[in-house]
Structure 1
Amino acid sequence: MRDLLVLSIFGLGCLYAFKRPYIGALLMLWISYMNPHRLVSWGISYSMPLYAIAFVVTLVAYLASSDKQKYPWNSLTILMIVFLLWGGICTMFALEPQWATKELSRFFKIQLGVILLLLIMRSEHKLKLMVLTITLSTAFYGIKGGIFAIATGGNFRVWGPPDSFIEGNNELALALLMTIPLLFFLFTDTKNKWLKRAYLGFIGLCLISVIASYSRGAFLALIVTSFFLWTKTKYKLPIAFLGIVLVLSAIPFIPEHWYSRMNTIETYEEDGSAMGRFNAWGLAFNIAKDRVTAGGYGHWGPRTFAMYAPNPTDIHDAHSIYFEVMGELGFPGLFIFLTLLLLCWRLNKTNIRLSKDTPELEWCTTLARMLQVSQIAYMSGGAFLGLAYWNMPYHLIVITILLNLHIKEQQEKQTNE
């Protein structure tokens, strides 16, 4: 039944996409974030290349449409292409060519989608639909997980969709932390009181899911993200009060073994997982120092640990976006990656400055601020997770660029009038 429902929605979306390409783009985002076909335990949709089909349909529809936009060449779009090209060069000299080629192909598909989104989603309506689709598709697992955690007393971990970037409890927690600021934007952008209540409820359930993930890195990132969210909003007193009430209300219901796991943060020297991460980070530094192209995508196996790790027998994944890029794409790749994050932050700062004194663009100011909070969640939580090539950070860059284009277009209209 679920298989038929997913295929029906997908087929209908493809049909509408031929008339309105942006619907195809939204379909791509829905497949990317919600992974609805992974909710089907059996059926033909589970293994179907739905994203690839949606991409082809959207591309054909865009090429056939009369509404074509120029590609927005700027420092961010150029640098994303450079980052992909550098990944291709590193793949040519990769220590594990099979894994590197597979991961490069995956990242290449994400970047093709980025290009298509930049060409299609060029209006306020489309941009807001893009934010809505990404946010609710990801929040679905926070809502589902929050209800599950309440029903089971928080005694079990919350997990993401299988065979996806955010399948693991740690990865899902980071995704939800990045989603919460976007939910807050949706809350401020609607005037419907029932939708406002729904968004507040979604935020609460997502927070419960983050805690119920038992992710120590996400717990630290939650503290950092909460502080930045508080500084970026005009509802400082209500949010502070709500936060205190939620924390005090939750304390009696949190299981003892949750506290035991969080307490291992203070005794990381005795924790095998933490020390394994340090070992992988040491490998990343050593291989980047030895090879300008480092090891290439996905090399984290016995061979490279034997060659470069301080402890050759303690094999772990990178568990950090920074050391992941350093170990796979070397210091040049890390420089490009950090520059992308910096330029995205600065462009959102520009978006805030350009829009904050214009009442019609107040939503742009709020969205830019929440994008910064979401980026803080990624940068802090990503210090302990290997999600350097996941699609959300690059889609946040897309939203940032599109927001900047919209603000400038509106200002030009006002000037001409």
Structure 2
Amino acid sequence: MPITALGFLAVFSIGCLVALKRPYVGLLLYFFVYYMHPPGKYWGSFLPEMRWTLIVALITLISTFIHEKNLKAWLKPKETKWLLALFSYICLQMTWVNYPSLHQEYLVLLFKLVILYFIIVTLVNTEKRLIGVIVANAIGAAYIGLEAIQTHQSGRFEAAGLPGIKDGNLLAIHLIPIILMTSVLILTNIKRRYLVFFPLALVANLFFMTGSRGGLVGLVIAGLFFIWYSPKEKKTQVFKWAGIAALLGSMLLGPLIAERMNKVINAQENEEVDKSAYTRIVVIEAQWEMFKDNPVLGFGHRGTLIQSPYYVAEEYMTETAIGGRRASHNITMSFLVDHGLVGSFFFLFLVVGAVYKVKIVNAVFEKNPRVALVLLSCSSGLLGVMVSSQFSNSKVLEISIWMIALIAAISLIMKKDEKHNLLDKDE
């Protein structure tokens, strides 16, 4: 058995035992298992087939109920209410969708994500734990980056082997918040913060290895959003590091993304446009017609895939076991087709409400600068995910729920700190 497989088993086994008494360790173990993900690695074939992340999540959930006192705190943030409203509607849809088996897949996934949301909001209740989650994700993504350097030869890197991440575009979307959250640690005064450069370099290099044009657009917009809302006290430092990041990013850009961007930028009206980009436009136009045929309630999960033979020309179809089909490449249109105006309304307010929390960054920066900067990075990262998701459908990725959960957790941390400050003044 490979050493990596043995090491994974050792960490998994010991981590599960420790998590029974310390649920926060279980959360960190969840991220470890997510990035290692045996089914997606060559050494995973030496291990038994198990739902590794599910096992960790269940152990952590049980431990959380046993050891955590304030189990109702997660209900306070507005994000929780919108997420539960969305989940309730997805459950209700099961009563009328034409393909309940496909819809059930998303229902089960969303239920798991609601549980994960509860665990994150409940356990990430201090600044130290918040930074621990960021570091865990930075190291996990850096591991994938190191693996990519060692195994990948040429072209786009798309074999990350992570849950739900099947191509380079989705991997790039996942990495956007990781890059921003890791970068923000450099702006803080935590000890040994410059060690962050090592995993950050690997993650940034991995991002550019994906060759994702949509990912690059999302990262740039997220970065500009971060700069715009950065606290006045940090503006100069943020501009300095942004300039350095832009310079290093241009060095990492390489010919892969540049060539793919030029296919779109230099395309003339009478010339053939890059088919990958043009097909997305064709599918979006078809999805708009699908939406108009069922605007309120939606067709259910994977609605675009099921309805595509009736709306998309055969030349743009992809051959599958059940014939020509075309999946969605746009998260906004996916929600409109799958869940109609009702489901899209809940999702929109869930995301916008979380991103809008950025408005309080300047107000709380003086009281808790590190947490305020992390909030800014999470909001910027979530925005970057949504922007990139207009080019590749990230509906089933976990990263958006991670960010929303961290934003909700940060709001609770800030309220707790504010309460303590008031008590200190009274004394």
Q: TM-score range by the shorter chain?
A: 0.7 to 0.9
Change in CA separation of 1:225 and 1:158 when aligned onto 2, cut-off 3 Å: same
Structure-to-structure mapping, 1:1-40, within 5 angstroms: 1=2, 2-36=4-38, 38-40=40-42
Matched position secondary structure for 2:73: coil
Which TM-score applies when normalising by structure 2?
Answer: 0.85
Unaligned stretches of 5+ residues in structure 2: 318-325
Moved more, 136-145 or 75-84: 136-145
Matched position secondary structure for 2:395: coil
Change in CA separation of 1:386 and 1:297 when aligned onto 2, cut-off 3 Å: same
Which TM-score applies when normalising by structure 1?
Answer: 0.87
> Could you tell me the percent identity over the aligned residues?
19
Cα drift, residue 192 of structure 1: 3.9
Change in CA separation of 1:44 and 1:61 when aligned onto 2, cut-off 3 Å: farther
The answer to whether the 8 Å contact 2:120/2:406 transfers is no
Q: For the residues of structure 1 that align with 2:203 and 2:330, how far apart are their CA atoms?
A: 23
Q: For the residues of structure 2 that align with 1:180 and 1:47, how far apart are their CA atoms?
A: 32
Match of 1:81 in 2: 84
Change in CA separation of 1:120 and 1:203 when aligned onto 2, cut-off 3 Å: closer
Query: Among 280, 284, 287, which residue is 2:283 paired with?
Result: 280
Cα drift, residue 339 of structure 1: 1.0
The answer to whether the 8 Å contact 1:283/1:327 transfers is no
User: Is 1:406–2:413 an aligned residue pair?
Assistant: yes
Match of 2:344 in 1: 334
The answer to whether the 8 Å contact 2:164/2:396 transfers is no
Structure-to-structure mapping, 1:12-411, within 5 angstroms: 12-36=14-38, 38-43=40-45, 45=47, 47-65=49-67, 67-73=69-75, 74-145=77-148, 155-162=154-161, 164-189=163-188, 191-193=190-192, 195-196=193-194, 198-231=195-228, 232=230, 234=235, 235-243=237-245, 245-246=247-248, 249-250=251-252, 254-255=254-255, 258-266=257-265, 267=267, 270-291=273-294, 292-301=296-305, 303-307=306-310, 309-311=311-313, 314-315=316-317, 316-350=326-360, 352-358=361-367, 361-411=368-418
Matched position secondary structure for 2:166: coil
Q: Tell me which amino acid in the other structure corresponds to 2:175.
A: L
Change in CA separation of 1:310 and 1:300 when aligned onto 2, cut-off 3 Å: closer
The answer to whether the 8 Å contact 2:177/2:377 transfers is no
Matched position secondary structure for 2:390: helix
Cα drift, residue 133 of structure 1: 2.1
Change in CA separation of 1:403 and 1:319 when aligned onto 2, cut-off 3 Å: same
Change in CA separation of 1:289 and 1:89 when aligned onto 2, cut-off 3 Å: farther
Aligned length, in residue pairs: 403
Q: Tell me which amino acid in the other structure corresponds to 1:47.
A: E
Change in CA separation of 1:209 and 1:21 when aligned onto 2, cut-off 3 Å: closer
Cα drift, residue 288 of structure 1: 2.4
Q: For the residues of structure 2 that align with 1:398 and 1:99, how far apart are their CA atoms?
A: 26
Cα drift, residue 163 of structure 1: 5.8
Change in CA separation of 1:250 and 1:391 when aligned onto 2, cut-off 3 Å: closer
Q: CA RMSD in A?
A: 2.6
The answer to whether the 8 Å contact 1:17/1:24 transfers is yes
The answer to whether the 8 Å contact 2:86/2:346 transfers is yes
Moved more, 322-331 or 310-319: 310-319
Cα drift, residue 206 of structure 1: 2.7
Q: For the residues of structure 1 that align with 2:126 and 2:81, how far apart are their CA atoms?
A: 22
The answer to whether the 8 Å contact 1:6/1:37 transfers is no
Change in CA separation of 1:226 and 1:410 when aligned onto 2, cut-off 3 Å: closer
Cα drift, residue 298 of structure 1: 1.9
The answer to whether the 8 Å contact 1:27/1:54 transfers is yes
Change in CA separation of 1:46 and 1:91 when aligned onto 2, cut-off 3 Å: farther
Change in CA separation of 1:9 and 1:138 when aligned onto 2, cut-off 3 Å: same
Change in CA separation of 1:325 and 1:140 when aligned onto 2, cut-off 3 Å: farther
Change in CA separation of 1:201 and 1:227 when aligned onto 2, cut-off 3 Å: farther
Q: For the residues of structure 2 that align with 1:12 and 1:188, how far apart are their CA atoms?
A: 34
Change in CA separation of 1:65 and 1:243 when aligned onto 2, cut-off 3 Å: closer
Cα drift, residue 160 of structure 1: 4.4
Q: Tell me which amino acid in the other structure corresponds to 1:339.
A: F
Q: Tell me which amino acid in the other structure corresponds to 1:141.
A: I
Unaligned stretches of 5+ residues in structure 1: none
Q: For the residues of structure 1 that align with 2:351 and 2:246, how far apart are their CA atoms?
A: 31
The answer to whether the 8 Å contact 1:117/1:398 transfers is yes
